Structure 1
Amino acid sequence: MTSHVPAPPPFAAGSPTATDFTSGPALYIASAAAEIPPGLPLADAVRDGLIPEENAKVTGMSTVSVADESTSLFDLVTAAASSAVSRAGLPATDIGAVLFANVFPYTRPRLYNMATGIAEAVGAPVAFATELSGGCVASINALVLAALRMLHSQERAALVVAGDVWRQPHIDRFNTEVGYIFADGAAAVVLSREAGFARLISAATLTDPNLSGIHAEVPSDRTPVDITARARAFLTTRMGTDQVLPRLRGGLRATLDAVLAPAGVDLADVDHVLVPAIGEPFLYRNYLDPLGIPISRTTWDHSAVTGHTGGADQFSALSYLVDQGRCKSGDTILMISEGLGFQWSVAVLRVE
């Protein structure tokens, strides 16, 4: 493990970078699909000693998606990608780029470009295939990069896939951090120049490098990743919560303001807010209470039976909205993601 290195005094965070996608050729979300393994009841996890009962209750969740040992990450992501391509109603040969977003590296093939494997699985002779990480923000980052690429190329479509599998001894999905339960799963969207169910309106991102140490590796007495120990070390040696919380809330608010301005909508007018699938207390603390968002405008009913699938959360929630018939023409969808570092990436869609 790396040794703790004191950080220099914090500097002011920069300004969000926003892109108005309405100023150029229209780009659409042609489809969204998810591959979510069966849910393990948290009551069973408590019974089996996998998580303390108190910690399970704190999450507000009832089940968590857990893939069986014979199911690989590649199985999940290719299934989600294939479903998204099939739903898009366009030939796979139209896909000029595949981008794959992944958070946890230990349960995936080593020295292998998953994006090229996904392209092969769906039959897309792509010119560009790459992977992104950086935490749970990677999927929205990948969507934005795919969109920017399409604006400067002749490619007709792009496939963006996100997925993760969390397994011991590398991570303890139930006890990495109180209030979070990591879930296995994958989700994908197809971005197209042709008509889709929603148009990409805008996107914005902001990074505050002063907060990178929140997730920096520190000595721990446990083998699986210990997020709590990392945060505790940062809060006791670098910045206190009186500094960190305003930066976190200010960064999110600034990014939201930046993405909503090109869309010409206020947060109060957004119909669906897709946030990370975190435990209920964090949901209220991080998003609902400070932003004034009622839980009815989120997909908490979906999150509560899946868990946190990493970067796949937003695409999975989008697929859920569509599958449940909860979107109508004119609806505005806001996808919010946060990632290691600390970074915020958000995107606005408008249902056609």
Structure 2
Amino acid sequence: MRHDNLYIAGVGAWYPKPMPVDEAIEAGWYDDATQRRSGPLSASVAGDDDTQPEMAVRAGSLALRHSGLDAAEFGLLLHATGAFCGLDGWNVASYLQHHVLADNGLSFEVKQHSNGAMAAIELAAAFLVGRPDRQAAMITASDRFVMPVWNRWRTYPGLVFGDGASAAVLSRTGGFARIASVVTASRPDLERAQRAGLSFMAFPDTSDTQAYPINLIQRMQTFADEEHGGRIAEVFKIMNQALIRSVEGAAEEAGTRPADIDHLVFPNFGRTMLRQEVLTPLQLDADKTVFEWARETGHVGATDQFGGLEYLMRAGRLEPGQRVLLCGIGLGFNWTSAVLEIDERPVPLAD
């Protein structure tokens, strides 16, 4: 969908101290060959006090300050996450609504895994159209990948997982970037790629060694064995087609081409995975991506896109007239792409 009056007024991100990949290799958690192919330098690793909700509060509070808006102007907070949020039987979105927006508006959790923050743009845009009495919406995202559920170094061979949070403020009345278009593609028939061979459980049971730690590539291979004669390349071909529809659709609605966009922010994949699953299908170059930043944080679930945008701002790389593509890829599978037009050079918050 094309938008004329939807803006990003503020961004914020908070990532814990990075752990060098060399330390993981020395400890036997990772290996040299994979590092050479994928190129990660480190992964942001949360400390004991860096819980998913608290990291989201930090990022959301920074985005609120950066926007210059008052919490009373917000009608909505959407929180995106894929991993465990700290407690079962509890509402993390309400916690953030209370601590970031001083109880203003409404709040909901968006469970779209790594596409959650991008999918939330679609939801927030529709909400703001229907609620002209409220100016802004907050989108937060946070994730933390820890054992015994996630082995951050080996869950998927093309990336390492990091921890952290990011946030963005959407406004109907102005901001440093206009959201020109948002397009989502969906292939729900691929949901079996994350559960093939596994049964549903009554509750999480980390003693089940078939299910934990999560092994995404093993699940996808089982799905390929059952549905595509073992040809996992066929699964990736379907995924690539949906990615192309989302990215090219968003670019067309914004009146541009993917190749003409100035900055590309995709999920924080490793070098080989980024090339094979994103850049080659889209015929795009790596030099416009934020890979140099991504290789220091790792893939932090739904936080990558707003985190990458915040990085571009801090690096002083956003200039009026430029376009930025944000693209999320979430288990399920869903792909959401947004094209931003930079209206003014954003000024980072003072440290």
Normalised by the length of structure 1, the TM-score is 0.90
**2:166 counterpart of 1:184:** no
In 2, the alpha carbon distance for the partners of 1:301 and 1:58 equals: 15
Q: Structure 2 residue aligned with 1:249, among 225, 240, 250?
A: 240
5+ residue gaps, structure 2, are 199-208, 344-351
Name which of structure 1's ranges 233-242 and 164-173 shifts more when overlaid on structure 2: 233-242
Where 2:296 maps in the other structure, the secondary structure is coil
Q: Secondary structure at the match of 2:297?
A: coil
Q: Deviations over 1:101-138 (max 9, x none)?
A: 00112x52222221211121124333310001122111
Name which of 268, 273, 277 aligns with 1:282: 273
Which residue matches 1:21?
A: 3
Equivalences for 1:122-141 in 2 at 5 Å? 122-141=100-119
Measure the CA separation in 2 of the matches of 1:314 and 1:299. Answer: 10
Give 1:86's aligned residue.
65
Deviation, 1:243, is 3.0
Q: Deviations over 1:203-254 (max 9, x none)?
A: 0111112211111153564731111220110111112335323311211111
8 Å CA contact 1:181, 1:308 repeated in 2: yes
Give 2:204's aligned residue.
Answer: none
Q: What is the RMSD of the two structures over their aligned residues, measured on CA atoms?
A: 1.5
1:335 corresponding residue in structure 2: 326
Which moves more between the two structures, 316-325 or 56-65?
56-65
Provide, for residues 57-83 of structure 1, a one-character-per-residue CA deviation record: whole Å limited to 9, x for no partner: 332010100011232111110000000
SS at match of 1:344: strand
Contact map agreement 1:95 1:125 (CA 8 A) in 2: no
- After superposition, residues 66-215 of structure 1 pair within 5 angstroms as 66-105=45-84, 107-153=85-131, 154-215=133-194
CA contact (8 A) 2:279 2:286 kept: yes
- Give the distance between the partners of 2:233 and 2:328, measured in 1 at CA: 23
Alpha-carbon distance change, 47 to 93 in structure 1, aligned in 2, over 3 angstroms: same
**Cα distance in 1, alignment partners of residues 71 and 166 from structure 2:** 17
Residue 224 of structure 1 aligns to which amino acid in structure 2?
P
Deviations 1:70-99 (A, max 9, x none): 321111100000000011111111111100
Between 1:217-226 and 1:183-192, the stretch displaced more is 217-226
The CA distance in 1 between the partners of 2:234 and 2:283, in whole Å, is: 22
Distance 1:250 1:103, change over 3 A: same
Which residue does 1:229 correspond to in 2? 218
Contact 2:244–2:281 (CA under 8 A) maintained in structure 1: no
Evaluate the alpha carbon distance shift between residue 225 and residue 245 of structure 1 in structure 2; reply closer, same or farther with a 3 A threshold: closer
Q: 1:97 to 1:318 in 2, by over 3 A?
A: same
| 2:319 maps to 1:322 | no
1:238 aligned to which of 223, 227, 247: 227
- Tell me the distance in 2 between the aligned counterparts of 1:241 and 1:125: 47
Verify the 8 A CA contact 1:60 1:304 in the aligned structure 2.
yes
> Whole-Å Cα distance in 2 between the matches of residues 351 and 56 of structure 1?
35
Residue 251 of structure 2, aligned match among 251, 260, 271: 260
Q: 2:284 aligns with which of 293, 297, 302?
A: 293
Give 1:182's aligned amino acid.
F
Give the one of 291, 299, 313 matched to 1:308: 299
**Aligned residues of 1:34 and 1:316 also touching (Cα < 8 A):** yes
The aligned counterpart of 2:203 is none
Show CA shifts across 1:291-335 (max 9, x none): 222211110111010000000000000000111110110111111
Letter matched to residue 145 of structure 1: L
User: Residue in 2 aligned with 1:53?
Assistant: 32
TM-score, scaled relative to structure 2:
0.90
Task: Please give the alpha-carbon distance, in whole angstroms, between the structure 1 residues aligned to 2:28 and 2:15.
Answer: 24
When structure 1 is superposed on structure 2, of 332-341 and 256-265 the one drifting more is 256-265
- One-letter amino acid of the counterpart of residue 67, structure 1: A
Partners of 1:243 and 1:57 lie apart in 2 by 26
**Deviation digits for residues 258-312 of structure 1 (CA, Å, limit 9, x no counterpart):** 2122211011111111100011100110122222222111101110100000000
CA contact (8 A) 1:31 1:87 kept: yes
Tell me the matched-pair count.
330
Distance 1:91 1:56 in 2: 45
- Determine which of 40, 49, 54 is the counterpart of 2:19: 40
